[in-house]
Amino acid sequence: MQAAGVVLAGGRGTRFGGRDKGLLMLNGQPMIHTVLSRYSPQVNPLAISANRNLQQYRQLGYPVLADYYSGQLEAFAGPLAGVITAMHWTDQPWLACVPCDMPCIPVDLVARLFRGLAGAPAAYVNDGHSSHYLCCLLSASLKPGLEKYLHDERRSVHGWLREVGAVAVDFSDSRAGFCNINTFEKLQCIA
């Protein structure tokens, strides 16, 4: 099965003093470059969700989507705003999402999420230790419900996935692939 993909890079970067996480340097290149190199073969089409530095992201060769869609959401409304924007962008029946701060995602992430669906409309990663809700696969049929969820000013990714009956897919054999780079210390450790 095929899915469209989005890399979520639209946050404020508060843990990095306001710096754009996707553009932080990792091994001599922006972190999002590493994510894209592992993720782009798994999805088609692919876009980047971002709310600033749009020109820098466009230079990576993919469509860049800002959270502000149809004038209904403010910028920086959380990752679900990036998800719904991507759902409006694509006409594919499935959307796969990853955050920009997981440079070591498995190269079979999307295929394994598809295998783990078991009839559910959504699936997300559990690495045996933690759940990673932004590494997920979503049916396009969830779009109207997500719009309502956001319209009601609800923003919890975990809460929404629970409500729609998303299933956790076991990735305990590849825990290292889901290391979030959300501090400067972690960035230094992985570099």
Tokens of 128: 């045996």
pTM of the model: 0.89
Q: What is the pLDDT of residue 14?
A: 54
1-48: pLDDT as tens digits: 899 999 999 765 555 555 688 898 888 899 899 999 999 999 999 999
Query: Structural domains in the chain?
Result: 4-190 (3.90.550.10)
- Can you give the pLDDT at residue 147? 92
Over residues 137-186, the pLDDT tens digits come to: 999 999 999 999 998 888 899 999 999 999 999 999 976 678 776 654 55
pLDDT, greater one: 155 or 90: 90
Q: CA dist 71 to 47, 57, 89, 127, Å?
A: 20, 22, 15, 37
| DSSP line for the chain | ---EEEEEE-S--GGGTT--GGGSEETTEEHHHHHHHHHGGG-SSEEEEESS-HHHHHTTTS-EE-S--TT-S-TT--HHHHHHHHHHH--SSEEEEEETT-TT--TTHHHHHHHH-TT-SEEEEE-SS-EEEEEEEEEGGGHHHHHHHHHTT---HHHHHHHTT-EEEE-GGGGGGG----SHHHHHHH-
